[in-house]
Amino acid sequence: MAVIITEQIEKIYNPDKVPVHALRGVDLEIDEGEFTAIVGPSGSGKTTLLNIIGGLDTPTKGKVYIAGTDISTLSGNGMINFRKDHIGFIFQSYNLIPVLTARENVEFIMMLQKKSKKERDQRANELLDAVGLHDKKNKRPMELSGGQQQRVAVARALASKPSFILADEPTANLDSQSTADLLDMMAELNREEGMTFVFSTHDQRVIDRARRVITLIDGKIAKDEVR
Amino acid sequence: MLLTLALRNIWRNKRRTLITITAVAFAVFLASIMRSFNKGAWDNVINTSVNLFFGYAQIHANGFWDDQTIDNSMDYQEVVRSLDPSNDHILGYAPRLESFALASTGDLTQGVMIVGIEPDQEEALTGVSDKIIEGNYLDASDDGALLAKGVADKLKLGLGDTLILISQGYHGANAAGKYPVRGIFKYALPDLNKVLIYLSLKTSQHFYAADNRITSVALKIAGQRQVDKAVNSLKENLDPEVYEVMDYKELMPELMQARQLDEGGDYIVMGILYALIAFAIFGTIIMMTQERMYEFGILTAIGLGRWQLFAVTILEIITVGLLGALVGIIIAIPVVYNWSVNPLDLSMMGEEATAAFEKFGMEPLIPAAFEAPIFINQAILIFIITCILGIFPLSKILTLNPVKAMRS
């Protein structure tokens, strides 16, 4: 079953001045449980596509369906709430809340979902165990290495029990060992819990692990390869 | 957790927080001191004027204040009967019969103000005996007169000399009498010192052929704060067709206007101080907002609602503002308290300053008012300022584009 469907997505920046066509009619379906990489050269539209799928940006034309919902019909706060419950994000720069500990960062989104303290504690501990950071749960982001911060970001993305996780260049700032560890962990979550991952990446190590690779060139899908 | 987030954000940039708190605290400290001294000084002027002559409130026959003739007098016993003995705010009263007369001796004459008093009650209210510089105070059955020094000097009268008074009595009766000078007092207010003569109430009633008549009852009230309650209570009990009840603000309108004028100037200075506070807080808000647009973008992206984000931000701003106000108030409290019990002594500024105060019957001291509202108002003002300044981050957050913010 498809969790993400895009229909003829177009994105034009500065339409009234110097139009820049970032996406030119992207049709895409991503099913539950996929481990998909969106690749392409810089400026090909990878991040724009991810932002539109994640509801952070709106398409100039076309529709996006997430778990059956047409997200173009959602208002500002409606979209924020939808994102909170359905989409997990992992960013290139980790983007943890600097003043909160690892555990609090993971709990934060559950707090926004109004989960009980008990439930939040339990899930945060489970997730931090799963990403191998149980002993670092009371550390703040600046006390963790880049790889550890990205693991916390993964735990945070999973905390809300989203329909899928969007990861924008998640390994860009990591060394080889951290990248390998992170990919192992995400592959395991995908395999064992069926969590859907969609990456935008340049990183060959990520591309090598993906089971589906979608190549974007000049805002169009040039190649869609299932391995 | 939003509160935790706000508090930790405050702690995150300690230097900025410290600078803002210091700026707000300093301005609040100055504003508290200034307001305390202004209020204390004016309260002192009013208390002095009230205790000198007027009392905190007076009862007259209806219409007396606008047409101050002896024909607009009232029956002493009836007024006393009308006073509610259970009114706790009124500590005492002094009946007076006030009118004008021509004073004479030899070939000298002077227009004077005659005030008939019950000596004991008047003493309790205004302490006339303290002002006597020659001779003795009156007793209730005394048939002599107490002269203000200005009158005595003008008429060249001394103790034991005879004062002749001529006037028009109650309902047009002729009023004339001779009175021995029992004492001479010095009144601080120059206008009163030139015209005031005290007689006993009984003697003055006899002089004006106004038996059992009085023109006013000056009231002794515990303090300025009780005046409104006391006056309202009196107004409820006394027939407004027969009596008028006036508080010190109505009795001394020029003084109140002078206070308003002076406070108006002070409010301008305080406005400038608060503008400085506002700029200090606004600087913090701009820095706090601009440097965290990226973070705002992240928080919005992961699901924090815009209003929740605004709540965190405004909570930070208000906390810093109120912390600054609290620090300023905590520093100001002992300083103001000290100056309230040990008033600022202006005699050290020289004899001229001392003389200027003494001219108006005041010691050259300025006490600070030590009152909770002065400090509480600072906190309220800071709260209001921060809420208004919160419009800036609110506008930024409401128009936040998470993608652009995360690129910043």
pLDDT in tens, A122-137: 999 988 988 888 899 9
Same domain, B270 and B331: yes
Distance of CA B183 to the CA centre of its chain: 33
Task: Please state which of the ranges A23-37, B15-29, B263-277, B341-355 shows the lowest mean pLDDT.
Answer: B341-355
Torsional class of A14: left (φ above 0), alpha (ψ -120 to 50), beta (otherwise): left
Question: Cα(A186)–Cα(A179) distance, rounded to whole angstroms?
Answer: 11
Instruction: Give the residue among B90, B289, B122 at the shortest CA–CA distance from B199.
Output: B122
Q: Which residues of chain A does B296 touch, with a Cβ-Cβ cutoff of 8 Å?
A: none
Residue B376 lies in a domain: yes
Q: Pull the structure tokens for residue B294.
A: 């990226």
Burial B69-84 (b: 16+ CB within 10 A, else e): ebbbbbebeebeebbe
Over pLDDT 70: what percentage of chain A? 100
N-term to C-term CA, chain B: 26
The answer to whether residue B243 is domain-embedded is no
Does B330 map to a domain? yes
- Quote the minimal CA–CA distance from B282 to chain A in Å: 23
DSSP H or E segment with residue A205: helix A204-209
**Strands (E) located in chain A:** 2-13, 20-31, 35-39, 61-66, 69-70, 87-90, 164-168, 196-200, 212-217, 220-226
Whole-angstrom Cα distance, residue A151 to residue A159? 12
Is A156–B8 a contact, with Cβ atoms under 8 angstroms apart? no
Statement to judge: residues B65 and B210 lie in one domain: yes
Q: Which residues on A lie below 8 Å from B303 (Cβ)?
A: 80-81, 83-85, 109, 112-113, 160
Give a yes or no: residue B244 inside a domain. no
User: Residue B199 belongs to what domain range?
Assistant: 57-222
Region B267-272: mean pLDDT is: 87
CA distance linking residue B198 with residue B102, whole number of Å: 14
Query: For chain B, how many structural domains are there in total?
Result: 2
Q: Which candidate in A23, A48, A66, A80 is best for mutational testing of the B interface (most B CBs within 10 A)?
A: A80
Is some CB atom of chain A closer than 8 A to the CB atom of B399? no
Q: Residues B227, B78: contact at Cβ < 8 Å?
A: no
For every residue of B213-271, which 3-state class applies, written as one string?
EECEEEEEECCHHHHHHHHHHHHHHCCCCCEEEEEHHHHCHHHHHHHHHHHHHHHHHHH
Q: Please check whether residue B94 is in contact with residue B125, taking contact to mean a CB–CB distance below 8 angstroms.
A: yes
**CA R_g for chain A:** 17
Let me know if residue B35 belongs to a domain: yes
Nearest CA in chain B to A93: B406
Per-residue confidence (pLDDT) for residue B280, from 0 to 100: 80
Instruction: Verify that B341 and B205 share a domain, yes or no.
Output: no
Is pLDDT larger for residue A215 or for residue B127? A215
Q: Please count the residues of chain B.
A: 408
Do B64 and B27 share a domain, yes or no?
no
Q: B125 near B55, Cβ under 8 Å?
A: yes
Rg (CA), chain B: 31
Residue B262: the pLDDT is 86
> Are the CB atoms for B222 and B91 separated by under 8 Å?
yes
Span between the terminal Cα atoms of chain A, in Å: 18
Contact B179, B145 (CB under 8 A): yes
- Whether residue B264 sits in one domain with residue B189: no
Residue B359: which pLDDT band, with cuts at 50, 70 and 90? low
Task: Output DSSP code: residue B66.
Answer: T
The sign of the torsion formed by the CA atoms of B383, B388, B389, B392 equals positive
Domain boundaries along the sequence of chain A: 35-47+75-226
Tell me the mean pLDDT in the region A76-101: 86
Do residues B181 and B318 both lie within one domain? no
**pLDDT score of B361 more than 70:** no
Per-residue exposure over B9-43, b if at least 16 CB sit within 10 Å of its own CB, e if not: bbeebeebbeebbebbbbbbbbbbbbbbbbbbbbb
For position B296, what pLDDT does the model report?
87
How far, in Å, CA of B237 to CA of A48, rounded?
80
pLDDT digits over B95-145, tens only? Answer: 999 999 999 998 899 999 999 999 999 999 888 888 899 999 998 888 999
Q: Chain B residues with CB inside 8 Å of A113's CB?
A: 303
Q: What is the percentage of chain B residues whose pLDDT exceeds 70?
A: 98
Residue of A13, A58, A95, A106 to mutate, interface with B, max B Cβ within 10 Å? A95
CB distance B386 to B392 below 8 Å: no
Residues in Cβ contact with A120 at an 8 Å cutoff, skipping those fewer than 6 apart: A107, A110, A111
> Where is average pLDDT lowest: A189-198, B10-19, B78-87?
B78-87
**pLDDT tens digits, residue range B139-194?**
888 899 999 999 999 999 999 999 999 999 998 888 999 999 999 998 777 778 88
Q: With a threshold of 0.90, tell me whether the complex ipTM lies above it.
A: no
Structure confidence at residue B265 as a pLDDT band (50, 70, 90): confident
The owner of tokens 């028009």 is B168
Looking at the fold, whether B136 and B164 belong to one and the same domain comes out as yes
The pLDDT of residue B148 is 94
Residue A56 DSSP class: S
Contact B295 A97 (CB under 8 A): yes
Q: Which helix (H) or strand (E) segment is B8 a member of?
A: helix B2-12
Q: Which residues of B touch A54 (CB under 8 A)?
A: 301
Residues A187-212, mean pLDDT to the nearest whole number: 90
Residue A44 three-state SS: coil
Do B42 and B72 reside in the same domain of the chain? Answer: no
* Residues in A lying within 8 Å of B, measured between beta carbons: 51, 54, 56-57, 76-77, 80-81, 83-85, 89, 91, 95, 97-100, 104, 107-109, 111-113, 156, 160
- Would you say A75 and A155 are in contact if contact means Cβ atoms under 8 Å apart? no
Query: Using 50, 70 and 90 to split pLDDT, how confident is the model at B360?
Result: low
Determine contact, residues B167/B208, Cβ cutoff 8 Å.
yes
**Which residue bears the tokens 């000596």?**
B119
Distance CA(B208)–CA(B170), nearest Å, equals 6
Q: What percent of chain A has pLDDT over 90?
A: 50
Could you tell me if residue B327 is inside a domain?
yes
Domain A35-47+75-226 listed as CATH 3.40.47.10: no
Chain B nearest C-alpha distance from A160 (Å): 10
Identify whether B159 is part of a domain. Answer: yes
Taking a C-beta distance cutoff of 8 angstroms, is the pair B26, B327 a contact? no
Could you tell me how far CA A95 lies from the centroid of its own chain?
12
Question: Cβ contacts (< 8 Å) between A51 and chain B: which residues?
Answer: 403
pLDDT at residue A147 is higher than 90: no
Mean per-residue pLDDT of chain B: 87
pLDDT at B43: 85
Tokens of B375: 């400090």
Inside any domain, residue B231: no
Whether residue B404 lies within 8 A of chain A, CB to CB, comes out as no
Find the closest chain A residue to B306 by CA distance: A77
Contacts of B258-265 spanning 24+ positions with Cβ under 8 A: B259/B42, B259/B45, B259/B46, B262/B38, B262/B42, B263/B38, B263/B42
The 8-class DSSP code of residue B275 comes to H
Query: Cβ contacts (< 8 Å) between A108 and chain B: which residues?
Result: 1, 302
- Are B280 and B331 found together in one domain? yes
φ, ψ for residue B17, nearest 5 deg: -60, -45
| Contact by Cβ (8 Å): B213, B205 | yes
How far is the C-alpha of A191 from the C-alpha of B99, rounded, in Å? Answer: 107
Same domain, B76 and B129: yes
Quick one: which of A31, A33, A32, A50 has its CA closest to A169?
A50
Task: Please state, in angstroms and rounded to a whole number, the distance separating the CA atoms of residues B172 and B331.
Answer: 65
Same domain, B67 and B35: no
Contact between chains at A97 and B11 (C-beta distance less than 8 A): no
Do B400 and B319 fall into the same domain? yes
A91:B298 CB<8 A: yes
Per-residue confidence band for B328, with pLDDT thresholds at 50, 70 and 90: very high
